[in-house]
Amino acid sequence: DAGFTKDPMTGCLTCECGVATANECAMDNDCARVNADCCGCELGGKDTAVPAAYVDAWNAQLMCPTNPTCPNVDTCPADLAARCVAGECTLVSGPLPPDPCGRPDLPACPQGERCWPNANDQATMQGVGVCLPD
């Protein structure tokens, strides 16, 4: 359910099932992208990911002024998205790879294929595998 375990030395996924480091999410839509500071990426700050159920509480705890002083320069990649990786909401750049697998919100691989970890960098970064011929 939490994808694959990442080798701490190489950063590559192993064939072992991942263990959720947090219990924030099970699927990508359990997470939301929010400002990490009063400016957020669009205005020169940073963004982060939190469980979707906590967006209002997150925004309230920032205690931002109505008109924060910000550089007004977008600082984040356009494809940055909130994703569920190993049970934790994180920001990941880029879409899921074609034919992703290894999480409950992703379809099972077709017959004759299996879920391969480390099939490509994008899949590895997002903690998922890719369906490839067995």
Model pLDDT, residue 2? 62
Look up residue 102 and give its two tokens. Answer: 């290894």
Model pLDDT, residue 125? 78
Strand ranges for the chain from DSSP E: 4-6, 13-17, 31-35, 47-51, 80-85, 88-93, 100-101, 113-116, 129-133
Query: Residue 3 carries which side chain, given as an amino acid letter?
Result: G
Model pLDDT, residue 86? 74
Model pLDDT, residue 13? 76
Identify the weakest region by mean pLDDT among 19-23, 67-71, 98-102: 19-23
Identify the weakest region by mean pLDDT among 35-39, 46-50, 125-129: 125-129
Model pLDDT, residue 16? 75
> Looking at per-residue confidence, does 75 or 38 come out higher?
38
Choose the most confident range, by mean pLDDT, from 13-27, 28-42, 75-89.
28-42
Across 82-99, average pLDDT: 86
> Looking at per-residue confidence, does 122 or 20 come out higher?
122
